[in-house]
Each structure stands twice: as structure tokens, then as C-alpha cells.
């Protein structure tokens, strides 16, 4: 269970048969659906870390349909009940196949912890806008996090 205020974890279904699988992510009639802005995919190579980023207005809806990813979220909103909390999840179809909803102003990063490329899907509530997000590298992280496995 997440400890960060307004961050949500929603289990997702995988329907499999001998031909392959259908992997659910987000539907218009889901109670946690807010609105549609854009969908994008981020491919990450093994042992690669993509961190840190936060959005000012965008809510992220993230799932990992391929590979294994550790997703880390950090709350540095001083007015939040979960100020300075950190949540980490291992995501992927063989681990926890779930939708992680990250509200605006939460720092997040992710790491491919598998042996093959991983694919992260995001259904965002707004389309990409220049200057809507803030990024920091690992050398200027908003918190000290041990990415070792």
C-alpha cells in the first residue's frame, strides 16, 4: 500500500490464453480515471535509471506491461500529510501488474531491474507542455535513494 497522499495503486488484469495475453491499463469508466491528455511509452534498457522528475499539473497513470521496473516516488510537498515519504514498487507482468497513479508535484524515477528491455506506459491527464515538468539528475536528486539491488 502506498504511503504518499493521493498516490494510488490499482491492480490490473491480465487475460491469458495459448495465443498470448490482453493486458488492461485504464478505461474511461474506471473510478480512478480522471481525464485523457496523452499516452506515451518509455523504453528502458537493463540496469538503467531514469530519475528524477515531477510534474506541476499532470497526473500520471503508469503501468509496466513488459519487463521489470522499480518505480520510486517521493513527496516533498511541505503541506502534505505524507511529507518526505518514499514509496517503491516492483512492477511488471510477472511481479505486480498494477496502475500507479502519481499526482502532480510528486518526484518519481524508475529503474529497469530485469535482464531485458522494459516498457513503461503512461496515460497522462494533460498533453506534454514545455516547462510543465521539472527534472533533476541522480547527482542533484531531491532525496538520497539507494538504487542498488
pLDDT tens per residue across span 102-129? 999 999 999 999 999 999 999 999 999 9
* For the chain, percent of residues with pLDDT exceeding 90: 99
**Residue 47, phi-psi category: left (phi > 0), alpha (psi -120 to 50), beta (remainder):** left
Cell numbers 502534505 correspond to 80
Residue among 137, 146, 39, 32 at smallest CA distance from 88? 146
Residue 94 burial (CB count, 10 A): 10
Q: How far apart are CA 87 and CA 27, in angstroms?
A: 25
**Mean pLDDT over each residue of the chain, to the nearest integer:** 97
Q: Looking at residue 54, what is its pLDDT?
A: 98
Amino acid at each position: 500500500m502506498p504511503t504518499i497522499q493521493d498516490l494510488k495503486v490499482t491492480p490490473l488484469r491480465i487475460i491469458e490464453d495459448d495465443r498470448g495475453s490482453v493486458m488492461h491499463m485504464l478505461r474511461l469508466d474506471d473510478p480512478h480515471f480522471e481525464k485523457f491528455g496523452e499516452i506515451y511509452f518509455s523504453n528502458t534498457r537493463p540496469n538503467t535509471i531514469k530519475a528524477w522528475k515531477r510534474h506541476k499539473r499532470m497526473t500520471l497513470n503508469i503501468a509496466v506491461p513488459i519487463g521489470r521496473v522499480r518505480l520510486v516516488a517521493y513527496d516533498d510537498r511541505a503541506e502534505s500529510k505524507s511529507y518526505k515519504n518514499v514509496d517503491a514498487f516492483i512492477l511488471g507482468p510477472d511481479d505486480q501488474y498494477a496502475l500507479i497513479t502519481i499526482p502532480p508535484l510528486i518526484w518519481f524515477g524508475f529503474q529497469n531491474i530485469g535482464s531485458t528491455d522494459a516498457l513503461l506506459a503512461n496515460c497522462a491527464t494533460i498533453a506534454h507542455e514545455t516547462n510543465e515538468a521539472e527534472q533533476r539528475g541522480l547527482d542533484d536528486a531531491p532525496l538520497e535513494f539507494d538504487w542498488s539491488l
